[in-house]
């Protein structure tokens, strides 16, 4: 899968793209990442990529010409999406990552800066995406989150595929509590059921813990899971 990051700060990605599972996936060419700087496509002597907004206001906007030129310089694969990282976009969710990992051969990710981008950039964009209901200093942070979330789902990135099926949000629920050695640490013990060897009892305990944890920590997810669960039974 090809990722094209349109960014004013390519160096931002240097360490993340060479570290951990992400670095290993790129080394194995499970995915390829290309960095394109809009500043390289400016035509004025100062290489300006921003300007004052029409109508007045605080801050600067990214100009459309360098972004259009940067995106239009890229190859176009058959199944491509062009994403703009913006607080106004669709919040990232696990189903979004799953859909992009399955349906796309190429993701072009535009990283905004300053007060945002000229509205005409949206003519390039197929999807606006947000990390959440807050504002960050740059679009590189959500772009990296999306990059990580999608690449880890590509075949070959994660060693044990089963681990992708038993994690938070896969069934609309948070993950269950997990423990490793030692069996007792500072008087906190591992639940007896996990030491019992009874796999059916362990599975039941984990499911109940998922439900309880989601109910207590994320009532919004719990209510959606409950509604979906009840509709499946009816």
Q: Which pLDDT score is estimated for 65?
A: 97
Domain that holds residue 91: 2-151
Q: Is residue 143 part of a domain?
A: yes
How many domains does the chain divide into? 2
Residues 40 and 103 in one domain: yes
Q: Is residue 160 part of a domain?
A: no
Residues 114 and 186 in one domain: no
pLDDT along the chain (234 residues), means of 10: 98 96 96 98 94 91 97 98 96 96 98 92 97 94 98 88 59 92 95 96 96 95 91 77
SS (H, E, C) 82-134: EEEEEEEEEECCHHHHHHHHHHCCEEEEEECCCCCECHHHHHCCCEEEECCCC
Residues 13 and 66 in one domain: yes
Q: Which of 151, 178, 193 is the last residue of a domain?
A: 151
* CA atoms 64, 73, 112, 10: torsion sign: negative
CATH code of the domain containing 176: 1.10.1270.20
Q: Which pLDDT score is estimated for 172?
A: 87
């Amino acid at each position: 899968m090809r990722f094209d990051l349109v960014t004013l700060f390519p160096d931002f990605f240097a360490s993340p793209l060479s570290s951990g599972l992400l670095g290993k996936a790129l080394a194995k060419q499970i995915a390829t990442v290309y960095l394109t700087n809009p500043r390289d496509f400016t035509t004025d002597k100062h290489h300006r990529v921003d300007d004052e907004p029409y109508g007045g206001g605080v801050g600067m906007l990214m100009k459309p010409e360098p972004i259009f030129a940067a995106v239009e310089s890229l190859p176009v694969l058959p199944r491509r999406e062009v994403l703009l990282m913006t607080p106004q976009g669709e919040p990232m969710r696990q189903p979004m990552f799953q859909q992009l990992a399955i349906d796309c051969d190429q993701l072009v990710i535009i990283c905004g800066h300053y007060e945002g981008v000229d509205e005409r950039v949206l003519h390039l964009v197929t999807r606006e995406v947000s990390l959440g209901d807050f504002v960050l200093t740059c679009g590189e942070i959500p772009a990296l989150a999306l990059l990580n979330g999608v690449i880890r789902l590509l075949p070959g990135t994660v060693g044990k595929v089963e681990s992708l099926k038993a994690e938070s949000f896969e069934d609309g629920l948070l993950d269950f509590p997990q423990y490793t050695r030692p069996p007792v640490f500072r008087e906190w013990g591992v639940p007896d059921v996990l030491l019992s060897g009874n796999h059916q009892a362990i599975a039941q305990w984990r499911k109940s813990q998922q439900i309880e944890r989601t109910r207590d920590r994320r009532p919004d997810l719990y209510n959606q899971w409950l509604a979906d669960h009840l509709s499946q039974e009816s």
